Chains A and B, each alone.
Chain A
Amino acid sequence: MASTTDVVATDTAAEPEPAPRRGARKPRGKANQAGGHLRAGWLTYLILIVFSVGSLFPLVWSAIAASHTNARLSEPTPPFWFGDRLFDNLDMAWNDANLGKAMFNTIFVAGTITVSTVLFATLAGFAFAKLRFRAKNLLLLLVIGTMMVPPQLTVVPLFMAIAELEWTDQLQAVILPTMVSAFGVFFMRQYLVQALPSELIEAARMDGANSLRVVWHVVFPAARPAMAVLGMLTFVLAWNEFFWPIIALTQQNPTVQVALTGLGQGYVPDRGVIMAGALLGTLPLLIAFVLFGRQIVGGIMNGALKG
């Protein structure tokens, strides 16, 4: 599933079916007032609360489970509140699964991928949005088309390549194949088409700025909000990337996801420790979500909106 996520939304939402889309975001909720006095009733809230609890429950419960011993978790009635073993379990998970190194590796990998994706996507997105060149539409179509290539289709040769280069277990084996993303290019293009007035570029050109200067002084400032959103989305995806890392890396030099799979495979698995590991592997993103949830939500919704 992971791989498709970077296809947040391409063109589809775009086609304004019935009429020109005016005030795209403003009239939220109003639509249903149209019928008269209808606003969200208690049933609406009930549904939303049930689903929100359902979304959060497994995570909360993993924290609860992580605070108990394996023995306590093997009792017929599962625990409903925190025990006192949380820090012991976190400690064991940290050491058993090599999580310190895994965490460092993942931050490095996800960070590098994010920076390069945002940079290259902005450059290419700018070119596709505002510059004129031969075969532009065809090339853009090609970019979108590449989103359809499933990662399974490339693993065998990629694995052969890294075996040949003796990169097995090296982080660059994970970083290099994902340094650009078609979704990123498309996302930035959609944003820049609207957010960057062509007059601004022309004015800079009039002042004699060359392309690099235009990029640095005009495009980057204009693109900053979208770059931030793309950066967050890319980081989440890179952090959670699973299929290729598990092939390219081993438990000696793992990313968090690879380390977590090792945690589940012990002979006598201590489930409290496994839950502690799962929690640790998710925690950085959860914290980011608490801090930037609003922006990430906005990013996904905008990705879908702008066709």
Chain B
Amino acid sequence: MTTDHAKAAPPDSSGGAAPRHTSEKTDEPTDREVKKLERRSRWYRWDLKYSPYAFISPFFLFFAAFGLFPLIYTGWAAMHQSSLVDPNDMTWLGLDNFTRLWNDEFFWNALRNTFTIGIISTVPQLLMALGLAHVLNYKLRGSMAFRVALLTPYATSIAAATLVFAMLYGRDYGMINWALGLVGIDPVNWEAGTWTSQFAISTIVIWRWTGYNTLIYLAAMQAVPNDLYESASLDGASRWQQFRYVTIPSLRPTIIFTVVVSTIGATQLFGEPLLLAGSPNGGSQSQYQTLGLYLYETGWVNLHLGRAAAIAWAMFLLLIIIGLLYWLLTRLVGKSNGQEA
């Protein structure tokens, strides 16, 4: 900043600082200098006015090209027949893809699986994260080491994590069946059953995301003012009551946020079920085929891109419905809470 003082006059003032280096010249600015000043001040105003747009434009340009346009075009593609072999050769179908989806038992199966896996992975994960955050919020030794350890799964990729878990859940030589054998339980064919395979998938999800959610809760807990706990304990509230009546209500917005994010994540579940069996069919009876996997199978294994696009729109619709439900829910909760307070 310091280099340019001489040249850089406050541009739109009426010439206060310009003459600083003009001692050898006349006091009256020449025509050329006036023009120069004008030009500079015009440039300065433009800069002020338009540079914000220049700064935000990369985001919006990229989003328009790789987010918004594809989003709309997906809707268009969903009304066409289009094969992976020649993706840009499209035949108009109207709403056929959607009616077909409506009558497609695989679609409903995938929807159901997405829902059940979503529930059994999200609910325990967030409950555990809440408890862990509470525990980490105590006065602790080595709390940073625990945090890093809990977050490590976050840095592990879906692919690596799933390969490891697939082996742990192996039927014949998997460690989990071995451990079950120790307590006298017969080996389970985890991948073959509906319930067992969905359980296995959700443990991978839980493993990867619990630590991450823990940190988010912890951050929110540390923002709760201490006086609240002090007055609660003066009133004779036990630790559990403090957690129940001070911590949880203070965390409500954060909890809602994590629920929303986890739900969105659960709707998109893809890598874990793909890699558990190593193929996109989601098991021999599609017992753990999720919507994301079904989309992939339809478009990239069975080569029906138009139908894949229709599945994508169905997922979008689903997200909107879920979003509306949450919105209603938060409004209801907010209202009831407001009355309490």
Contact = CB atoms under 8 A, between A and B. Distances in A.
Interface of A: 1-5, 7-25, 27-36, 38-40, 44-45, 47-48, 51-52, 54-56, 58-59, 61-62, 65, 73-78, 120-121, 123-124, 126-128, 131-133, 136, 139, 143, 146, 148-161, 163-164, 176-180, 182, 185, 204, 206-213, 215, 217-218, 236, 239-240, 242-243, 247, 256-257, 260-261, 263-265, 271, 274-275, 277-279, 281-282, 285-286, 288-289, 293-294, 296-297, 300-302, 304-305
A275 B138 contact: no
Contact of A282 (B71, B156, B278): B156
Nearest to A296: B151
B239 interface: yes
B10 A206 contact: yes
B32 interface: no
B257 A10 contact: yes
A150 B229 contact: no
Q: Which of B44, B141, B157, B166 has the most CB of A within 10 A?
A: B157
Given A34-B229, A278-B160, A152 B148 contact: no
Nearest to B239: A35
B77 A127 contact: no
Contacts of B146: 48, 52
Contacts of A32: 137-139, 229, 239, 242
A204 B309 contact: no
Contacts of A4: 261-262, 264-265, 268
Contacts of B329: none
A132 B52 contact: yes
B228 A18 contact: yes
B207 interface: yes
Given A154-B70, A282-B160, A78 B218 contact: no
Contact of A35 (B212, B233, B295): B233
Q: How large is the interface on B (under 10, 10 to 19, 20 to 34, 35 or more residues)?
A: 35 or more
Contacts of B242: 32, 34-35
Q: Which of A32, A65, A136 has the most CB of B within 10 A?
A: A32
Given A56-B152, A208-B10, 11 more contacts: A1-B208, A4-B268, A12-B256, A21-B223, A47-B131, A59-B152, A127-B51, A163-B87, A207-B1, A240-B157, A293-B148
A242 B159 contact: yes
Interface of B, secondary structure class, is: helix
B1 A304 contact: no
A40 B140 contact: yes
A191 to B, nearest CB: 14
B120 interface: no
21 contacts: A29-B140, A32-B242, A33-B139, A34-B229, A34-B232, A40-B139, A123-B55, A126-B55, A132-B52, A149-B71, A150-B264, A153-B316, A155-B308, A156-B299, A163-B88, A207-B5, A260-B159, A274-B167, A278-B161, A281-B159, A300-B216
Q: Which of A38, A55, A204 has the most CB of B within 10 A?
A: A55
Contacts of A7: 261, 264
Contact of A78 (B49, B178, B262, B316): B178
A146 B47 CA distance: 28
